[in-house]
């Protein structure tokens, strides 16, 4: 049952240039195609029509009075993942019911920021299964058996994919009346030269295919656009933010490269205003790509996929006239919770890279909350 574990290489390609300023090259992250489950292409969802669920074994109510009578308290939910000396805390939780091998199964998912529930609920409604659905990273996924015992746990954090099953897990849960409450612990495991463990406590409603996805940005405070980029002793003020859709044929990502035309959202933070007319001209090309648009100034560029994962981060800083440096890749140091909803992208980006290039440290601290410029309608 368990998808087995593979340590994932921390990706970060350092590129430095001296001389004429040119377009930032696309970076091959080198992530193996078999490093994890196959990625789902945007729009590759089952039609949202109710499917006839297979017969499954019904589990009688557990009759636990404290669960029935105690008020739901999401504040008690907590998830901590440890990979070597790094600790990742996740504060958003969902639970959902699905069918696997003719039996009902309850799954708990913890994430850093609220997930877009629509792809999951569409799949549950049409097939009853969560097959091929994958949460954005970082995440922890816990599957409970029909007695409420932890059966399988997997996670992705710090650019590492780990997990455990059976005797590697301990804990218990109660699933009753559309609610799941319990605890689970992944005992300390070691894979190659990395040590990891995880713990989760949860008390959440259980979603089904008939559930209504929430509006995640409804009522959310507007974040300031901009931030700062520090390279060595130089600080660049990123005062301008542009967000736009574009298409990429090959999209590096944490679970292997995703090929084929993919619509992504790019967030561009710059020191000075960009030439918006040139960007629009590039996007109006039949390729609908920004590959012909050069950002010839200090900037931060984030490519975000349909799962709201930052799949590529590119940072460029200008030195003396005609010289610049650049780093690009996927970094475990990057902390960038992002939400894209109803034409709005909102998030933050923080990262510190020691000895990034020329022995100097690179720091990024920015936020953004702006409208996404849509791709031109095909003629």
Q: Say if residue 59 is preceded by a cis peptide, omega within 30 of 0.
A: no
In this predicted structure, the answer to whether residue 97 has a pLDDT above a threshold of 70 is yes
DSSP label at residue 101: T
Widest CA span in the chain: 73
CA–CA gap between residue 337 and residue 351 (Å, rounded): 12
Residue 33 pLDDT = 34
Residue 42 pLDDT = 39
Which has more pLDDT, 377 or 58?
A: 377
Reading the block at residue 2, the tokens are 């368990």
Residue 321 pLDDT = 58
CA–CA gap between residue 287 and residue 248 (Å, rounded): 9
Q: What is the pLDDT of residues 330-354, one digit of tens each?
A: 788 899 999 999 999 999 999 998 7
pTM recorded for the entire structure: 0.75
Residue 192 pLDDT = 85
Q: What is the pLDDT of residues 180-238, one digit of tens each?
A: 999 999 999 999 889 999 999 999 999 999 999 999 999 899 999 999 999 888 899 99
Label residue 55 exposed, middle or buried (CB < 10 Å: 0-12, 13-18, 19+): exposed
Q: What mean pLDDT do residues 244-273 have?
A: 75
- 159-163, 254-258, 289-293, 327-331: least confident range: 254-258
CA–CA gap between residue 231 and residue 362 (Å, rounded): 5
- 21-25, 73-77, 127-131, 285-289: least confident range: 21-25
- Do strands 92-100 and 194-207 pair parallel, antiparallel, or not at all (unpaired)? parallel
* Among 190, 161, 164, 135, CA closest to 32: 161
pLDDT level of residue 83 (50, 70, 90 thresholds): very high
Reading the block at residue 102, the tokens are 């003719």
Q: pLDDT > 90: what percent of the chain? A: 55
């Amino acid at each position: 049952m368990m998808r087995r574990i593979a340590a994932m290489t921390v990706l970060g390609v350092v590129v430095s240039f001296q001389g004429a300023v040119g377009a930032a090259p696309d970076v091959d992250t080198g992530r193996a195609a078999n490093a994890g489950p196959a990625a789902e292409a945007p729009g590759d969802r089952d039609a949202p029509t109710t499917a006839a669920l297979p017969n499954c074994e019904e589990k009688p109510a557990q009759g636990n009075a404290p669960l029935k009578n105690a008020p739901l308290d999401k504040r008690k939910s907590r998830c901590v993942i440890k990979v070597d000396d790094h600790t990742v805390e996740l504060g958003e939780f969902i639970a959902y019911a699905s069918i696997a091998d003719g039996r009902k199964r309850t799954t708990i998912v913890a994430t850093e920021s609220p997930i877009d529930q629509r792809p999951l609920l569409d799949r549950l409604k049409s097939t009853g299964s969560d097959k091929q659905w994958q949460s954005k990273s970082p995440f922890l996924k816990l599957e409970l058996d029909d007695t409420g015992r932890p059966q399988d746990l997997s996670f992705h954090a710090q650019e590492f994919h780990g997990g455990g099953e059976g005797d590697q897990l301990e804990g218990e849960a109660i699933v009753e009346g559309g609610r799941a409450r319990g605890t689970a612990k992944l005992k300390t495991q070691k894979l190659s030269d990395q040590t990891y463990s995880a713990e989760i406590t949860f008390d959440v409603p259980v979603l089904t295919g008939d559930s209504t996805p929430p509006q995640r940005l409804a009522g959310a405070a507007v974040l300031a656009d901009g931030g700062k980029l520090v390279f060595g002793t130089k600080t660049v003020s990123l005062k301008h933010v542009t967000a736009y859709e574009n298409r990429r044929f090959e999209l590096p990502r944490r679970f292997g490269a995703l090929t084929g035309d993919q619509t992504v959202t790019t967030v561009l933070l710059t020191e000075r205003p960009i030439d918006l007319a040139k960007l629009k001209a590039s996007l109006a090309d039949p390729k609908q790509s920004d590959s012909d648009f050069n950002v010839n100034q200090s900037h931060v560029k984030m490519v975000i996929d349909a799962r709201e994962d930052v799949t590529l981060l590119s940072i460029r800083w200008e030195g003396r006239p005609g010289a610049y440096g650049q780093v690009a890749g996927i970094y475990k140091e990057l902390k960038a919770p992002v939400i894209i909803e109803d034409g709005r992208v909102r998030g933050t980006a923080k990262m510190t890279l020691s000895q990034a290039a020329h022995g100097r440290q690179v720091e990024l601290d920015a936020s953004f909350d702006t409208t996404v410029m849509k791709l031109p309608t095909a003629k």
